[in-house]
A = this chain, B = another copy of it.
Amino acid sequence: MIKVSVMYPNSLEATFDMKYYCNTHISLVAGILGDALKGGSVDSGLAGGALGQPAAFIAMGHLIFDSIESYQQSFIPYTEKIMADISNFTNTQPQIQISEITL
């Protein structure tokens, strides 16, 4: 299984509408991906390693797929449509990482 982590960098100016993200954006993405999407989760950044230190990412969304091929086939053709929704909930540009779920 692989995990596609969509990580929104934090900064003093960063805004993120978590309600819109969870209620609208995730539904849009899940609808597009269909059966290819095997699971997912959403994290809200609270802090860095030391208390009082800001989180590096204001939010992170994680999407689970069977394989990179499955991600590519289901997500890539709709990247533009998915990315077009981003300005509706944040003024940041996400950083994407593809990982193998090892444990």
Contact = CB atoms under 8 A, between A and B. Distances in A.
A95 to B, nearest CB: 6
A67 to B, nearest CB: 11
Interface of chain A, helix or strand or loop or mixed? strand
Given A18-B102, A26-B103, A103-B22, A95 B49 contact: yes
Nearest to A61: B103
Interface string A67-103: 0100010000000000000000000000111111111
Contacts of A42: 101-103
A95 B56 CA distance: 8
A49 B96 contact: yes
Contacts of A49: 95-98
